[in-house]
Amino acid sequence: MFKPLPSVPDHPALEREILERWDDEGTFRRLREQNAGGPRFGFIDGPITANNPMGVHHAWGRTLKDVYQRFNAATGHDERYQNGFDCQGLWVEVEVEKELGLNSKREIEDYGIAEFAERCKERVARYVGVMTEQSKRLGQWMDWGNDYLTFSDTNIEYIWRFLKECQQRGWLYLGHRSTQWCPRCGTSLSQHEQAGEENYRELEHPSLFVRFPLRDREGESLVVWTTTPWTLPANVAAAVKPDAEYGLRDGGWRLASPEEKYDNVVQGEDLVGLEYEGPFDDLAPQHDVVHRVIPWDEVALDEGTGIVHIAPGAGAEDFELSRVHGLPVLTPIDESGRFLPGYGAFEGLSTDEAAEPIVEALLDRGRLVEVGTIVHRYPICWRCKTPLVFRVVDDWFIRIGDLRQPLLVANDEVAWTPPQYKKRMDDWLRNMADWNISRKRYFGLPLPFYPCDCGQLNVIGSRRELEERATGGLDQLQELHRPWIDEVPISCESCGKEVRRIPEVGDAWLDAGIVPLSTMGWENPEWVPHGYATGAAEHISGADLPDHDYWEHWFPADWISESREQIRLWFYSISVMSMTMTGRLPYRAVLTYERVHDEHGKEMHKSTGNAIEANEAFERMGADIVRWQFCGQNPSQNINFGYGPAEEVKRRLLTLWNSVGGFFIPYANIASWQPKWGPPPQPEHALDRWLVARTALLVAETRDAYERYSTPTVTTAFEAYVEDLSNWYIRRSRRRFWDGDANALEVLWWSLVQALRVIAPVMPFLADHLWRTLVLDGPESVHLADWPEPGEPKRELLDEMAAVRRVVELGRQARAQSGMKLRQPLRRLVVQGAESAKAQAEEIADELSVKEVEFGPVEATELRVKPNLPLLGPKLGKELAQVRAKLEAGEFEELDGGRLRVDGHDLSPDEVLVERRGKEGWAVAGEDGLTVALDLALDPALQLEGRAREAIHQVNTMRKEAGLEITDRIVLTLPDDLIDHRDWIARETLADRVEAGDDIAIERL
Ligand SMILES: [Zn+2]
Ligand SMILES: [Zn+2]
């Protein structure tokens, strides 16, 4: 007996039950044992930051990772299941600051860096736990508990080794530049961190037009435009475009417009070299500055006045110009974005706070021409969303130029899905700037740089090297983090003097970028149990440090999968680091995907209330439904994710549920039919043979789709299959199931079971639940059953049934046009153009409720043909008019394949528009060379049969309304005129006795 199913599935409940079963039965462990030593399918996980609970947007990537891992397990592959967590850097620091209510770097230092580091570690440990539980709930099978954590000492040592290699190649340098700076985080940020569209916002800023009076030109001024008043106290120059025209009006020079009148017009180059009075010459830092006009070809002419105010200490391009023109660099603000001493009344103010007093001061001095506001696109900190400023600081960089070409060449070999993303990677590689790796922060990778006064830059490449060269502090070195690492000075390898580490920590993408080497034991001589889980990771993970043989076996990964923005982040950093150390990319294939929006297509934000918590989604929709939504989505487009689409998925999946629980199980149980695990059935009945072939086709289609990383193809193919199974096979076979036909039961059971195997990677819970319901003597879990091997689908069977279904579809259309109910049987259907459906004439007759099906020319139609002008016009030219006339007059010959011969021209089917209309008494429908015609003539026998069918329908509706089971027998009352069909009606309605009466009535026996 099969266990009956409820009428609708409770997804969350059955998922929790399956999770328990997997736990109890060790299903995942057994799967890995089963596949150990099989062909390799190597995966490297990109780390998720263990910092907050998982959002639904994380579930997209985690679903895809799990789907392809499961598919490859089903096909017998040995796989890597190590999950990764990112554990240090700004992500973690900013959240811990919020938690502790700290608002600046000074407050962190007052709190204590050691204590702060402990809080960061606690937060990571907490969210490693939370995310692990969430991922399990999603159904993701990973080697939980043996995760890699990027703040482990082992990971840090591998990065140190990479940095030392960069130094030895001469790629490491200290850059003095103007960089984007977050005043809240107190650190510079790099190009790749900031490049995303989400790191910009529309912001309102002041818009000022300011006069800079020219020296030696009485009454004349330059008029400049700025949206950053705070940069004016650092002004040292004004730039003009040398070949542009400037005009003087009301004493102010600005870009000349052809429509305006001016007192004087000159070329920009005529202004170059003029000196002017700066806006804040009274400030101490300005005392020795000589302000002058400089040439700059890049001056924007489409906004402002064509004269650009230059403050090299507060802008990137300004800083570059200062190098070219030898300008002084005034740096007005400190690392928290506040004015430094020397800036008078502005001292201590933030850049925002200073705007108003600056405007007032300009007004007082008569320097303000115009003041307003502007809304423009402005960069914000990727981490804390604070608007950025520019500061000139010293940062450490890795020179990337030597890697650009090898990376481009290697990328050409990578299989990208969707394929257009390969070019995005190329674009990134072509444009990437040197890698800014230093952050002026606390809890991150300690950069192992120890510069010495003698000019030597000491770079430490390993913990052992640190221990060998340390001059003290090793006893307190609990792990390779600040503040402990800062207490270990070393001796300079050049002059022997004691030197200290720089205070900076590293860009978090170094942490994530090293993992294809650090987690897989590159150049590690001996396997060390738990050897990866060192330092801060020691009590959170049990990860081993494998040996170099392991690395050789698994590197490069066969595939990786992360969201598209990782092109400039993780894909980039792993590529740079592996290419540097091994000369190879760490992956062969990439699957990438876009962003998660709400169901109306809007970005999800906690603040707008449209964000969906992952846990809530799992418990309200079910994890399978979450997964199905993601799998059904084309990865090159954003997904509109939500409860509405979830309901739609549930509704569609109900067809599968009903086929099993609402149909198969009740009939199999009535027939006491028992399944037997074994090879595919070899049925004889045409519909059975078709369903076996249809199932083989599903297996072939989905395997191909999984291998091409196309889950949308998998879900579409599966839905089409279930539709065929339910709305064709089951519907056409009802009678055989009523009769308990063992062949039909066997074929349906076998087909359902194969379908569960192919869909199990996408919805592991429902598939396993149904598997455990249906499979009584086979593998315990669908996930322990291999990929099905039903052989090649028999094409001729599929083609034949496809033709039958087209005939039926057109037959239904013809009936619908005629307004004749399907319950009214008709005498005859004529079919033209579907010879392969001939063998199934009985199926067609029964399905369309006609007495006979004829294959031959349909003469019951009038053919109307018109030229398809866009195609035929150019082809026929002047002759078109005559051809059109002949077509209208019906003077043409029909050739095979839908072609026509008219007036000496052979026309293909797409060159004409054909319409067939039924003659009186016929209903006709046709498309693509197939035509069917229904004879609508009725005789008394047909009419009576129609009434009998109507009665059967009515009785069965009454049975349902009376709450009868499908096995309950009845006494049936029929009116006299239906008595001739008594036996048939009784059989169809499970009536044991029929009585005559005025109206139809039933009574339960
Ligand atoms: Zn910030
Ligand atoms: Zn030295």
Instruction: Give the pLDDT confidence of 107-116 residue by residue, as tens digits.
Output: 999 999 999 9
Ligand at minimal distance from the CA of 184 is 1
Going from the Cα of 333 to the center of ligand 1, the distance in angstroms, rounded, reads 16
Half-sphere exposure of 773 (CA within 13 A, CB side): 25
Query: Ligand 1 centre and the CA of 690: distance in Å?
Result: 63
From the CA of 456, the nearest ligand is 2
Q: At what angle do helices 686-707 and 56-74 cross, to 10 degrees?
A: 120
Q: Is 711 within 8 Å of 680 (Cβ atoms)? A: no
Q: Which helix (H) or strand (E) holds 855?
A: strand 850-855
As a whole number, mean pLDDT of residues 440-469 equals 97
Q: Which of 170, 157, 210, 189 is nearest to 481 (CA)?
A: 157
698/704 Cα distance (integer angstroms): 10
The pLDDT confidence band at residue 855, using thresholds 50, 70 and 90, is very high
Local structure of 120: helix, strand or coil: helix
Comparing CA positions, the residue from 748, 728, 726 lying closest to residue 737 is 748
User: Relative to the alpha carbon of 454, which ligand is closest?
Assistant: 2
Give residue for tokens 């074929």: 747
Radius of gyration of the chain (CA): 38
| pLDDT at position 929 over 90 | no
pLDDT beyond 80 at 945: yes
Helices (H) then strands (E): counts for the chain: 33, 41
The token pair at 61 is 């990537």
> Residue holding tokens 């199980």?
665
Cα of 450 from ligand 2 centre, angstroms:
9
Ligand 1 geometric centre to CA of 984 (Å): 80
Whether residue 981 contacts residue 975, with contact meaning beta carbons closer than 8 Å, is answered with no
The total number of residues shown for the chain amounts to 1005
If you measure from the C-alpha of residue 370 to the centroid of ligand 1, how many angstroms do you get, rounded to a whole number? 32
> Residue 776 C-alpha to ligand 2 middle, in angstroms?
76
**Does residue 916 carry a pLDDT above 80?**
no
Is there a contact between 48 and 92 (Cβ–Cβ < 8 Å)? no
What CA–CA distance (Å, rounded) separates 511 from 570?
10
Quick one: pLDDT at residue 638?
Answer: 96
- What is the whole-number distance in angstroms between the Cα of residue 286 and the centre of ligand 1? 30
Question: What is the β-pairing status of strands 589-593 and 415-417?
Answer: parallel
Report the share of the chain in percent with pLDDT over 70. Answer: 100
Cα(595) to centroid(ligand 1), Å: 23
Spacing, Cα 389 to ligand 1 middle (Å): 11
Say how many Å lie between the CA of residue 639 and the centre of ligand 1. Answer: 29
pLDDT reading at 857 higher than 90:
no
Q: How many CA atoms lie within 13 A of 518 on its CB side?
A: 31
pLDDT attached to residue 680? 92
Measured in Å, residue 57 CA sits from the centre of ligand 1 at 22
* Averaged pLDDT for residues 379-397: 93
Q: Report how far ligand 2's centroid is from the alpha carbon of 457 (Å).
A: 8
Ligand closest to 498 (CA) is 2
Ligand 2 centre from 732 Cα, in Å?
A: 89
CA 460, CA 449: separation in Å to the nearest integer? 7
pLDDT at 705 over 80: yes
DSSP secondary structure of 870-897: HHHHHHHGGGHHHHHHHHHTT--EEPGG
Rounded to 5°, the CA angle 943-944-950 comes to 90
- Find out whether 44 and 516 touch, Cβ atoms under 8 Å: yes
Centre of ligand 2 from the C-alpha of residue 504, in Å: 20
Q: How far is the CA of 383 from the centre of ligand 1 (A)?
A: 5
- Cα angle value 474/475/476 (rounded, 5°): 90
Ligand nearest to the CA of 91: 1
From CA 371, how far away is CA 355, in angstroms rounded? Answer: 12
Query: What does the pLDDT average to over 497-508?
Result: 97
Instruction: State the pLDDT at residue 888.
Output: 84
Q: Is the dihedral of CA 56, 60, 61, 63 positive or negative?
A: positive
- Alpha-carbon distance of 512 to 940, in angstroms, equals 81
Q: How far is the CA of 100 from the centre of ligand 1 (A)?
A: 16
**The predicted structure's pLDDT at residue 315:** 93
Expressed in angstroms and rounded, the spacing between residue 56 Cα and the centre of ligand 1 is: 24
Distance of alpha carbon 419 from alpha carbon 928, whole angstroms: 34
- In this structure, of 9-23, 196-210, 496-510, the range with the lowest mean pLDDT score is 196-210
- Asked if 536 and 481 count as a contact pair (C-beta separation under 8 A), the reply is yes
Q: Taking the mean position of all CA atoms in its chain, how far away is CA 435?
A: 27
Tokens of 605: 């934000």
Distance between Cα 426 and ligand 1 center (Å): 29
pLDDT of 913 > 90? The answer is no
- Asked if pLDDT for residue 928 goes beyond 90, the answer is no
CA of 155 to the centre of ligand 2 (A): 28
The Cα-based distances of 987 to 729, 822, 974, 981, 993 in angstroms read: 22, 20, 14, 10, 10
Among all ligands shown, which has an atom nearest to the Cα of 455?
2
Distances (CA, A) of 680 to 430, 725, 789, 877: 54, 17, 9, 59
Q: Supply the mean pLDDT for the chain.
A: 94
| Cβ–Cβ < 8 Å for 758, 767 | no
pLDDT of 192 over the 90 cut: no
Between CA 381 and CA 379 the distance in angstroms is 7
Q: Angle at the Cα of 807 (from 801 to 810), degrees rounded to 5?
A: 140
Q: Is 110 in contact with 101 (CB distance < 8 Å)?
A: no
- Give yes or no for residue 421 having a pLDDT over 80: yes
From the CA of 185, which ligand is nearest?
1
Ligand nearest to the CA of 493: 2
Return all residues near 732 (Cβ < 8 A) that are at least 6 apart.
Answer: 687, 843, 846, 847
**Closest listed ligand to the CA of 497:** 2
Over range 207-214, report the average pLDDT: 96
Residue 816 CA: distances (Å) to CA of 731, 813, 923: 20, 5, 9
Hey, what are 781's tokens? 């879990």
**Each residue of 317-374: pLDDT tens digit?**
999 999 889 899 999 999 999 999 999 999 999 999 999 999 999 999 999 999 999 9
CA 380 to ligand 1 centroid distance, Å: 8
Q: How far, in Å, is the centroid of ligand 1 from the Cα of 103? A: 11
Sort residue 717 into left (φ over 0), alpha (ψ -120 to 50) or beta.
alpha
- pLDDT tens, 135-171? 999 999 999 999 999 999 999 999 999 999 999 999 9
Q: How far is the CA of 154 from the centre of ligand 1 (A)?
A: 28
Asked whether 598 and 640 are in contact (CB, 8 A), the reply is yes
* Token pair of 97 as six digits: 């600051």
The ligand placed nearest to the CA atom of residue 89 is: 1
Which residues have CB less than 5 Å away from ligand 2 (the ion)? 452, 454, 456, 492, 494-495, 497
Q: How far, in Å, from the CA of 478 to the mean position of ligand 2?
A: 27
Alpha helices in 555-685 (DSSP H): 570-582, 614-620, 623-631, 643-657, 665-670
Rounded distance between C-alpha atoms, residue 715 and residue 291, angstroms: 68
DSSP letter at 346?
G
469 Cα–ligand 2 center, Å: 13
Q: Is 141 helix (H, G, I), strand (E, B) or coil?
A: coil
| DSSP assignment letter at 55 | B
CA of 498 to the centre of ligand 2 (A): 8
The band of 398, judged by pLDDT with boundaries at 50, 70 and 90, is very high
Class of residue 996 by CB neighbours under 10 A (exposed 0-12, middle 13-18, buried 19+): exposed
In the structure encoding, which two tokens stand for residue 994, read together? 């029929």
What is the average pLDDT across 957-968?
A: 88
Between strands 1001-1004 and 970-974, the pairing is antiparallel
**pLDDT at position 818:** 87
How far does the centroid of ligand 1 lie from the alpha carbon of residue 192, in Å? 15
Query: If you measure from the C-alpha of residue 476 to the centroid of ligand 2, how many angstroms do you get, rounded to a whole number?
Result: 25
**Distance between CA 567 and CA 196 in Å, rounded?**
11
Higher-pLDDT residue of 892 and 349 is 349
Q: What is the mean pLDDT of residues 540-566?
A: 97
pLDDT at 312: 95
User: How many CA atoms lie less than 13 Å away from 200 in the CB half-sphere?
Assistant: 8
CA of 130 to the centre of ligand 2 (A): 48
How far is 722 from 698, CA to CA, in rounded Å? 10
Res. 914: pLDDT tops 80: no
Q: How confident is the model at residue 872 (pLDDT cuts 50, 70, 90)?
A: confident
Question: How much distance in Å is there from the Cα of 460 to the middle of ligand 2?
Answer: 14
Q: In what helix (H) or strand (E) does residue 38 lie, and over which residues does it extend?
A: none
CA dist list (Å): 966 to 580, 660, 741, 950: 71, 16, 17, 19
pLDDT digits (tens, 9 = 90+) for 261-291: 999 999 999 999 999 999 999 999 999 999 9
The two tokens of residue 85 are: 């967590």
Alpha helices in 182-315 (DSSP H): 191-194, 268-271
**Burial (CB count within 10 angstroms: exposed 0-12, middle 13-18, buried 19+), residue 686:** middle
> What distance in angstroms lies between residue 696's CA and the mean position of ligand 2's atoms?
73
**451 CA → ligand 2 middle, Å:** 8
Ligand 2 centroid – CA 396 distance (Å): 19
Are 196 and 382 a contacting pair, CB within 8 Å? yes
pTM of the model: 0.86
**Between 916 and 762, whose confidence is greater?**
762
Q: For residue range 238-259, what is the model confidence (pLDDT) as tens digits?
A: 999 999 999 999 999 999 998 8
Q: Separation of 490 CA from ligand 2 center, angstroms?
A: 10
Cross-strand pairs, 867 = 912
Are residues 331 and 179 in contact, defined by beta-carbon separation less than 8 angstroms?
no
How close is the Cα of 987 to the center of ligand 1, in Å? 77
CA of 699 to the centre of ligand 1 (A): 51
pLDDT at residue 899 tops 90:
no
Tell me, in angstroms, the distance from the centre of ligand 2 to residue 494's CA: 5
